[in-house]
Amino acid sequence: MIKQFYLLTLLLFFVSITSSIVFAQNGLILSDKKNPVSDLQKQVDVLHYDLKFDLNTDDKILSGDATITAVNSLSKYLDIASNQDIILEPESTSSAGKLELNLYDNMEILSLTVNNQIADYSRKKNRILIKPNEQLVDTFTIEIKYKGTPQRSGFDGFVFGNVNGQSLVYNISEPIYASTWFPCDDDPADKALLDVEITNDSQFVSVSNGLLVSETKNGNKKTYHYKTVYPISTYLVAVYSAPYKTFNDVYISLDGKDTMQVNYYTMPEHFEDAKIDFADHVDYLQTLSKIFGEYPFIKEKYGVAEFLWNFGAMENQTITGIGYAFVSGNDFFRDTYVHELAHHWWGNSVGPKTWNDIWLNEGFATYSEALYAEAKHGKDALISKMQSKFSDYFRGTLYAPKDLFGETVYDKGAWVLHMLRYEIGDSAFFKSLHEYYDLYKYSNASVEDFKNVCENVSSMNLNKFFDQWVYTGTENIFCSYTLSFKDQNKKGCEINIYQNQRTYEEFHFPLDIKIDFVDSSSTIEKVYVDKRETKFNFKYDLEIAAIQFDPDSKLLGTFEKSYSR
């Protein structure tokens, strides 16, 4: 997801849903009280969603039929806990035999069956507690028929919208609002395959994730059936339905073996403008595939659809939503398109294990904007892009952030990747990205998983780096320095660097110092700062004219000259 800076005040309400640090062992979430995923939910491992939606746009009623195929994974968690002397939350054991799913309680349940047998259930807010009539030891199916007007939640939730007298149905479910409109295990780590059937009046084009399997007309209604061949997290499930006009491009995979449709869905009044704004998506696909590896959903599609959330865009898997106000024909939002496409590697294919790990989504997609600029226009474009994301006022930590969608996660997140690249070197950095992607694609990863890959590839201990930039530190590097010359000819100098951060005692970081000489030549001294106060001495054959710290903007830091110490 990408948002513009004027959105920041709107996002403050997300503080109430963010998570504290997750205590985990072998991937088992134990006692994070703020995490919306309960231990009881963890016994439901969803394999497949078969979702049928009938849209009544006049009355804003969604009628749904959800068939969920899952396996009972409670025994696995109990075995892990027993073998490692882990104490689970009481609900994990006292509710044995029960199932828990998410669905907001304003949606009326018409029927609920487990393995085709009517089952008892109770509801509380966004949770359904289900009591099957038999012990579930293997794969089972839950079918829930329901209807209602979805509750607007989060950024938007599920919306029966209208623009210029035209209906436009869409959703933004991130982070935990898929359950406002369909029953699910609303946990980003529980990925599943998906079939979606959308029925609306026949004048509307309906769009969802994956491949279009069929279009079926029945009187004045039309049903579109979409199917995924790759697993998907619930927050990325999409429904769009509007009087769209469409056009297409074709993307050919880097190895030349696959041809994929790139589909665009625009409101009629924006059709010509969209042809201008969307024109470079094949180039975006080619460039990011060269950087990260082939587009993850090459057997399905990529697409962009207009919707009515006008603060940015949303990376719904294989079908990004772009705000109506962003389609202008002026080609103003290239970074937005690159950002959302990059999420298909970072967030969609490699998903977060918990929302504490959202840096792996948003920081990575934001840095992808800079990597795209570098790939197309070189080093100066990379520097310019990173400087545009610099701030002295990032707040909080990257891990378990207070604001899931604030500047810290996006822009500081991009800077931390930029500094990691400097810390371990270009070769190790890009090899780490590739190995991380290959290891966790179509599944989920944590910050610690990413750290481990980087350490294995670089053969470096990155505990300090991740502590100061991800887990604990909340400040930028802030240094003052003094410069003194050893002789009147200014051919030797002593540089003293003093760290002045208020809350984080001591950063460790590589630093480039550019030495300019009077004959207009220069040299770069590469040093490593690992103390609160550090001294460096240099001697040259030429007279020194000036010095510059971090000339290529590799550090989230400030260096100010001090004339006394």
Closest Cα to residue 392, out of 557, 221, 192? 557
pLDDT-derived band at 22 (thresholds 50, 70, 90) equals very low
| Statement: residue 127 has pLDDT above 80 | yes
Looking at per-residue pLDDT, the higher value among 77 and 162 belongs to 162
pLDDT at residue 564, as a whole number: 63
3-state secondary structure of 287: helix
- Say which DSSP state 176 is in: T
pLDDT at residue 4, as a whole number: 52
- The fraction of the chain above a pLDDT of 70, given in percent, is 89
pLDDT-derived band at 428 (thresholds 50, 70, 90) equals very high
pLDDT at residue 471, as a whole number: 98
| Statement: residue 6 has pLDDT above 70 | no
Tell me the pLDDT tens digit for each residue of 525-541. 999 999 999 999 999 99
476 neighbors 394 (Cβ within 8 angstroms): yes
Residue carrying the six token digits 């840095």: 367
- Cα gap 163→537, rounded to integer Å: 66
Query: What is the mean predicted confidence (pLDDT) over 189-216?
Result: 98
| Statement: residue 26 has pLDDT above 60 | no
pLDDT at residue 490, as a whole number: 95
Mean pLDDT for the chain overall? 91
pLDDT-derived band at 19 (thresholds 50, 70, 90) equals very low
| Statement: residue 9 has pLDDT above 80 | no
Helices (H) and strands (E) in the chain, counts: 12, 32
pLDDT at residue 159, as a whole number: 98
pLDDT at residue 97, as a whole number: 78
Tell me the pLDDT tens digit for each residue of 245-279. 999 999 999 999 999 999 999 999 999 999 999 99
Q: Residue 562 corresponds to which tokens in the numbers above?
A: 């001090």
Which are the contacts of 347, defined by CB distance < 8 A and separation ≥ 6? 315, 360, 361, 362, 364, 365
- The fraction of the chain above a pLDDT of 90, given in percent, is 84
- Cα gap 246→240, rounded to integer Å: 13
Three-class secondary structure assignment of 162-182: EECCEEEEEEECCCCCHHHCC
| Statement: residue 410 has pLDDT above 60 | yes
- Cα gap 320→315, rounded to integer Å: 5
pLDDT at residue 95, as a whole number: 55
pLDDT-derived band at 18 (thresholds 50, 70, 90) equals very low
Closest Cα to residue 475, out of 506, 508, 501, 510? 501
| Statement: residue 82 has pLDDT above 90 | no
| Statement: residue 96 has pLDDT above 80 | no
- Cα gap 446→465, rounded to integer Å: 16
Query: What is the mean predicted confidence (pLDDT) over 44-72?
Result: 97
Three-class secondary structure assignment of 333-349: CHHHHHHHHHCCCECCC
| Statement: residue 86 has pLDDT above 60 | no
| Statement: residue 109 has pLDDT above 80 | yes
| Statement: residue 233 has pLDDT above 70 | yes
Tell me the pLDDT tens digit for each residue of 322-368. 999 999 999 999 999 999 999 999 999 999 999 999 999 999 999 99
| Statement: residue 73 has pLDDT above 80 | no
pLDDT at residue 333, as a whole number: 96
Looking at per-residue pLDDT, the higher value among 16 and 255 belongs to 255
The structure's pTM equals 0.91
Number of Cβ within a 10 Å radius of residue 264: 23
